A and B are shown apart, each in its own frame.
Chain A
Amino acid sequence: MLIIEGISKTFGKGSINEKLAIDDLSLAVNKGDFISIIGSNGAGKSTLLNCISGVYGVDSGSIVLDGIDLTRLPEHKRSKYIGRVFQDPLRGTAFDMTIEENLAIANTKNKSIGLQRGLNKKERDLFREKLALLDMGLENRMKQKVKLLSGGQRQALTLFMAVISKPKLLLLDEHIAALDPNAANKVLALTDEFSKTPDLCTLMITHNMKVALEYGNRTILMKDGKIAMDLHGKEREKMTVEKLIAQFDIDNDRMLL
């Protein structure tokens, strides 16, 4: 489904700050895969997702999603196929617009954007019905501005916006890191539920190794811009946080939490 072949990305080429963030990385993601990505700071996890989504162009290699070559497409064009949730809950929504208006923008991803009405009754009903599934009472607050929502509510809304237009790929960049434990669990449960959408591939970066092993069907450990470990099937089932630490000298305390 998603085929990444030999991509590399260097920041600040030729300067003293030159950093090879992604080093000849290849990855094949199957339909329906839910992959958790772990690795210490600077391992290239976020850069990988940003290269896939088009925030950065790659220096070499190719990225193909369901037969569509994304490598040279600009960010907004790739977004038609990709849903994204960022770590910062503020980044995923337009704060000065209402919940329903935010949803309407997310919902028009694959439609033409012109002088059609931004929102009609049919869409409102659909949003209300679907928002109720989040179980946060947002369905009764659709005309409120997003800036009035809590971080957890915003992140749940962003996640919902990311999947509403039925993307082929869902990219989650530490999307629960900024949330309190309760909200994090809620958003994780929703992530798990949404990831079961048929044919949807999900890549989730997390610093929480327990979460990484518990959710999804595959776990990747990144180190120095490469994939250092690719766990799935039986091997992954037997893996524990302790064994992971023993096997790879993980130097980041945050990952143990």
Chain B
Amino acid sequence: MTFGAVLGSVELGLIYSIMALGVFLSFRTLNTPDLTVDGSIVTGMAVSAMICSVGGNPWLALVAAFIVGCFAGFITALLNTKLGIQPLLAGILVMLGLYSINLRIMGGKSNVAIIKSDTIYKNFREFAQTEYSSIILGLIILTLITACFYYFLKTRLGFALRATGDNEDMVRASGINSNTMRLIGMGLSNGLVGLAGGLLAQYQSVADIGMGVGMVVVGLASVIIGEAVFGTRSLIRRLIAVSLGAILYRMIIAFAFNLGMPSTDLKLVSAVIVTFALSTGALGEKFSIPTLFQKVGAKNANN
């Protein structure tokens, strides 16, 4: 694998980390796999690209991407809590509806290129004058988001959110409206996903209607791989693990391409990776990645 490919994977991984944090919030914290992600990431991309393309402030574009993502999550949560639609189905419905909305945002075109427009990546490259500018910027943004997210999860509201995923009975018995918590959680989760979409559009200088397909799987893969490899002992460690999982996932994909796999097989590779990662639970402790590492370690020690 060339150095450039590794660099590219890390740059992309830093963006996908933010999406992975969003998926972590719905999948782990609220205990609900949320398929809205496939739609809301494109909504974030579309809004970000459109604002950049008309010469708007690229940072403002990211804020807007975050906000529209939140709204997508709100709708899913409302379908779930107010209309009693199963969370998985609610996510699918919103994802489907968003496809049309995303096309509308993009002015009816299936992709919007912003090669000539200002983006935070271009601006920072001019400012920092280094070929690593995208990595540095990505790292700064990710660190900021992770820190905010961590402190949020340590607030009273954060506690209530986490407990909602653990045990809704207990949350209601503690005088907290679990439906409100779901609304906030799903909103925030998709807000992060939208933000990641916004960054992605600016990084690639294009927003494409088809880019959302399978994003939730990528997010789940990042969460599961990260947790399995880097551990879950404390909350902050878990958040960092999820981010590293996203980067690791990009590396695995890049490595697969490097072996000569055609890029059209990307989705299949993603699906296989996630199947494997999810099945480590079913296959038992024996096959979990930390246990395998321990075994290798023990073998080496014996030698």
Given contacts A96-B162, A104-B159, contact A79 B154 (CB under 8 A): no
A92-B170, A97-B162 known; A76-B176 Cβ under 8 A: yes
Find chain A residues with CB under 8 A from B159 CB.
97, 101, 104-105, 108, 118
CA distance A83 to B170 in the complex (A): 11
A95 interface neighbour in B156, B167, B176, B178, Cβ under 8 Å: B167
Known: A76-B171, A94-B171. 13 other contacts (CB 8 A): A79-B173, A92-B173, A93-B170, A94-B167, A94-B170, A96-B165, A104-B159, A106-B174, A109-B175, A113-B160, A116-B156, A117-B155, A162-B173
Bound-state CA distance A119–B169 (Å) is 22
Interface residues of B (CB under 8 A from A): 152, 154-160, 162-163, 165-167, 169-178
Q: How far is the CA of A119 from the CA of B159 in the complex (A)?
A: 10
Describe B's contact surface by its main secondary structure: helix
Query: Can you give 13 contacting A-B residue pairs, CB < 8 Å?
Result: A76-B178, A79-B173, A96-B162, A96-B166, A97-B163, A113-B160, A114-B156, A115-B152, A115-B157, A116-B155, A116-B156, A117-B156, A118-B155
Chain A interface secondary structure, helix, strand, loop or mixed? loop
Binding site for B on A (CB under 8 A): 53, 74-77, 79-80, 83-84, 86, 90-97, 101-102, 104-106, 108-111, 113-119, 161-162, 165
Q: Output the least CB separation between A2 and chain B (Å).
A: 17
Output the least CB separation between B167 and chain A (Å).
Answer: 5
- Rounded to whole Å, the gap between the CB of B120 and the closest CB of chain A is 27
Contact B167 A114 (CB under 8 A): no
- The complex places the Cα of A117 from the Cα of B158 at a distance, in Å, of 9
Q: Are B174 and A105 in contact (CB under 8 A)?
A: yes
A150 and B143 alpha carbons, distance in the complex (Å): 38
Ranked 8 nearest A-B pairs via Cβ = A94-B166, A94-B163, A79-B175, A109-B175, A118-B159, A80-B175, A76-B177, A84-B173
Q: Which of A74, A91, A111, A118 contacts B154 (CB 8 A)?
A: A118
Chain B residues whose C-beta falls within 8 Å of the C-beta of A119 in the assembled complex: 154
Min CB distance A45 to B, Å, is 18
Give Cα distance in the complex from A114 to B167, angstroms. Answer: 20
Is B154 touching A93 in the complex (CB atoms < 8 A)? no
Q: Which residues of A contact B176 (CB under 8 A)?
A: 76, 79, 105, 113
Of A91, A94, A165, which contacts B162 at CB under 8 A?
Answer: A94
Residue numbers in B under 8 Å from A165 (CB-CB): 175
Indicate the member of A75, A94, A104 with the most B CB atoms within 10 Å. A94
Whether B169 and A86, one on each chain, are in contact in the complex, defined by CB atoms closer than 8 angstroms, is yes
By beta carbon, the residue of chain A nearest B153 is A118
Cα distance A92–B170 in the bound complex, in angstroms:
5
Specify which chain A residues have a CB less than 8 angstroms from the CB of B172 in the assembled complex.
75-76, 79
Q: Is the CB of B155 within 8 A of A109?
A: no
**Minimal beta-carbon separation of A181 from chain B (angstroms):** 26
A77 pairs with B175, CB closer than 8 A: yes
Closest residue to B176 on the A side, CB-wise? A76
Closest to A116 in B: B156
Residues of A within 8 A of B163 (CB): 94, 97, 102, 105
In the complex, A106 Cα to B160 Cα: how many Å? 10
